[in-house]
Structure 1
Amino acid sequence: MGQYLHIGLCYKLRVRRKLLSEQKITEAELLQGMTSLLDFTLYERRDTESELIFVLSHEELKQNLSMFLAQQIQLFTQSKFKREHALRTLDAIDKCATAAEIIELANTRDLLNLQRLDLADSLNIGIWNNYLEIHITILTFESVAKVFMEEYKDFLIYLVNLIRSASKENPLAGAVYATIC
């Protein structure tokens, strides 16, 4: 079945406390397991009574997003149409005074290279590799339609590592996330 490949920055990650309790996963085990997923020094905790919530630092987002996207956009072979949309995205980001305005811009879904995507994903945690459902909000900067893959998690890890390596001087590289959904 065809799915979509999305690459972007993990803006928010949520884990339900009830799931942790049911699966007897400690918060320390969760954090240890997630260190391979994201660089959590880029995130702020905004926990609620029912969820653990990690949100990408607004300061990091505002300070680094335009430069990060410009670097990533250069790595894609693009048609004139896509190049114009990429430039429009960068211009719109540069006009935003705050990270909240950038998030609002992504919510409008008017820009090809900056869209919000909410999804459920999974993570294997702990010594028993417990499956744990996580909820992620991604600010996508590239989406590819109808990818026919079923078991390509390793390929996605490769893509994430490639992007992080190409942008290692930019702190937002630690927030890159890719998924097929």
Structure 2
Amino acid sequence: MQKYGGTSVGDAERIRVVAGRVVAARKAGHDVVVVVSAMGQQTDELMAMAHLLSVTPNARELDLLLTAGERIAMSLLAIAINDAGYPAASYTGSQAGIITDTSHGQAKIIDIRPGRIVESLGRGNIVIVAGFQGVSTAYDVTTLGRGGSDTTAVALAAALDAEFCEIYTDVPGVFTADPRVVPDARKLHAVS
């Protein structure tokens, strides 16, 4: 399992570098699942645009909007990996079987049904999953809130019984919240 943050997939050249790292892991004999965040500040830009249109955007529609960034990043990474000569398939959170509660904007993962990911790996694909999102028990797209892509990677790694989960980010570890936003966020020394 590898997870790349927005800085890592911030533009086409960086995506190409990530694709190279992913392909190297495949060449080393690993089945590879990758979780990606939105490119750069795309989520913040989408949020700002929504707030230009409404002081209080509808939570369901806002979640649909905000997941667009990860969908763009996952597709571009799959395109780059395919172009490097390796089969890759990308999946949204709902396609990957990430089931959440119904709390738009701060949903919690309540189940992961990774059958589609396992099948795709079995067909020889490198699998890319959009982080930060899932589908609720009411069948609506939901977002997991800040740091949600890290949560996605760790939860998927556990569901897939992954050997390891590498998180490439501009934050030094896994925290209780985004330390760039929450000053008293605590670094977790172990995650199980």
The TM-score bracket by the shorter chain reads under 0.3
Q: Where is the strand percentage greater, Structure 1 or Structure 2?
A: 1
TM-score between both structures, scaled by the size of structure 2: 0.27
Q: Where is the helix percentage greater, Structure 1 or Structure 2?
A: 1
Report the structure number with the largest CA radius of gyration.
1
TM-score between both structures, scaled by the size of structure 1: 0.28
